[in-house]
Chain A
Amino acid sequence: MATGTPAPQDLFSRFQAGMFDEKSIISVPTGFQAYFGNPMNGSETVFSPDANQVDIDIIRGNERISALVPRGGISRSLGANQKNLRSEQFSSFSRKFPLAEEEGDITAAVLLNRVAGENPYVPKTQIERLRHHAVKIHQESIRKLGRLFEVLAAQSVLTGKQDAILGTSNADLQYDFRRNSAHISTVSTSWSGGSADILGDIDAACAKGRANGHVMMNMLLAGSTAMTSIVNDVTVAALADNRRFTYVQLGPNNPIPPKYQRFVDGGFIAQGVLNTPAGNQVWLFTYLDVYTNAAGSPVKYLGDDLVVISSTEARCDRYFGPPESLPMIPARAELYRQFFGFDPGAIPAPVKMRAAGGVIDPAMFYSDAYVTPDWKKVSIRTQAAPIFATTMTDAFVVLDTEP
């Protein structure tokens, strides 16, 4: 609310320039979210507007080989060589949806004041100002929720777990996607120290992911410090400079295969491709985007020392649960439309969502509004209930490269 004494205009003539709102420039990255819901590898995106929990049955597999048996006479082997195939067993998980919520209020008093960018001598109407505030609140809610999604997706990739309450230390308030504990480890020798066997560590991680995750590792996502260590490593440099063998191809001249495009669209920065002498091939990416934490400090979604070795074949599902508000009946929807000028099911999304098609979907968000009985305030609320499940969780190997 404007307070104090109104100030008369001085003698100078004026021109109102176009408003600059930095929020419209700030983009919301979705690099980690690109792992999830990728239809190319069978990942699922589930919208569940009415159920409290999402259940999934998981069957893990193995790669055993068939038996060879003697010809002649064998109808049924009771020996140890040929064992009877036994189906089926599975693990059933039930997860209660979390709830993320953003809320902002618009009061009748603020609607009498000039909004940013408004020419004071060509005033907007109160309903126009209401819609101006509403769009800003809606868009910022979506941006904040989008960043939360990215933090949660990063948690799932980096730890195999996701908080239901951010920052909790209570295991009961975490979704545990049951990653093999050996897949999250610290290397024995610091990568930045000059004496580490970086390619050996990468090969070992690829082997671990292949053995337990049952898919070939083909991506290496590195934090700043880890990527610097890779580039500075003498073995890597020697391979890159070798005229006969092009094991390492770093630089901008490597076209990204289409399967990695959704990650680049989401904010990953392609660095090139690395073929290790042991035979693994991984595309290298960095991810430098940040969000602002509760203390106001920038925090990288991917820690500088971390490396994630993974596969684009890994199925990672995402589930979006219901809001927590009374159903949006037509009367409320009509009030919403008349107040804000848009439908609660089609709220204005921020321009700068950096995401491949389908990574962000309007159906992930639920927006509503309610008016106080004195008809002086309207509250705008946006909710979401995301679970980012690294379903093939052993197809991820995370290394801390600075012990």
Chain B
Amino acid sequence: MAVQGRLDLSNFSIILSGITLTVDSGVLLQDAGRSAVFFSGTVVAKIAATGKWVPLTDVTLTTGAAIALGVYLGDDVAAADLVAGDVTGALILTGGGACTLDSSLVILENSLTPATVVETGTINARTIADDLARIGLFLEATINIDELEN
């Protein structure tokens, strides 16, 4: 048993400013193959046919899942819960009025970045950050005034 324990704590909010528009009845689509936690702050897309939300993982899909339409704000969801079935009651940030988000807390899965181009090679080419901006969500850089111990 150690004589010393350590915990690094942060008390940050992903929403920095502006008006936020949310839904609290979102449905996260079942993902039978999921093995990772679905974290709060993950950028999500909506399956057009069903209205269910999925993490944005591929900008080439044609189901609606390629377009960032929100950010998941609820509690972290265990992988097993998504494997078991749809998760209801999900809090989704679906848009805002000049709403800025802490860019370091916005999560993109599958190695995507805010600069990843959607519909590349077409007249509609744009980035994921542009898609978020279209719904009033802007990514803003932050800098810590507090640092953790070495």
Once the chains are docked, how many angstroms separate the CA of A93 from the CA of B146?
A: 16
Measured between beta carbons, the chain B residues less than 8 angstroms from A64 are 143
Measured between beta carbons, the chain B residues less than 8 angstroms from A179 are 150
Q: Of B5-13, B31-39, B53-61, which stretch is located at the interface?
A: B5-13
Report A161-191 residues with CB < 8 Å from chain B CB.
Answer: 164, 171-176, 178-180
B interface with A by C-beta (< 8 Å):
1-12, 16-17, 98, 100, 102, 138-150
Cβ contacts A263-301/B at 8 Å (1 or 0 each): 000000000000000000000000000000000000000
Once the chains are docked, how many angstroms separate the CA of A257 from the CA of B98?
A: 57
Counting residue pairs across A and B whose Cβ atoms lie within 8 Å, the total is 109
Report A133-177 residues with CB < 8 Å from chain B CB.
Answer: 164, 171-176
Q: How far does the Cβ of B16 sit from chain A's closest Cβ, in whole Å?
A: 6
Enumerate 5 A-B pairs (CB-CB under 8 Å) in ascending A order: A89-B146, A90-B8, A90-B148, A91-B148, A92-B7
Tell me whether A253 is interfacial, beta carbon within 8 Å. no
Q: How far does the Cβ of A189 sit from chain B's closest Cβ, in whole Å?
A: 28
Question: Would you call the interface of chain B mostly helix, strand, loop, or mixed?
Answer: strand
Task: Known contacts A76-B140, A78-B139; decide if A93 and B5 are in contact (CB<8 Å).
Answer: yes
Measured between beta carbons, the chain B residues less than 8 angstroms from A175 are 3-4
Measured between beta carbons, the chain B residues less than 8 angstroms from A174 are 3-4
The answer to whether B100 touches A93 (Cβ under 8 A) is no
Measured between beta carbons, the chain A residues less than 8 angstroms from B4 are 93-96, 174-176
The answer to whether A78 touches B140 (Cβ under 8 A) is yes
Task: Known contacts A61-B147, A89-B10; decide if A80 and B141 are in contact (CB<8 Å).
Answer: yes
Q: How far does the Cβ of A200 sit from chain B's closest Cβ, in whole Å?
A: 25
Extra pairs beyond A87-B144, A172-B1 (8, CB < 8 Å): A60-B150, A76-B98, A78-B140, A80-B141, A84-B102, A87-B146, A89-B148, A178-B150
Tell me whether A71 is interfacial, beta carbon within 8 Å. no
Q: How far does the Cβ of B149 sit from chain A's closest Cβ, in whole Å?
A: 4
Q: How far does the Cβ of A310 sit from chain B's closest Cβ, in whole Å?
A: 17
Choice from A83, A172, A178, A393 contacting B141 with Cβ under 8 Å: A83
Task: Known contacts A76-B17, A76-B100, A85-B142; decide if A172 and B7 are in contact (CB<8 Å).
Answer: no
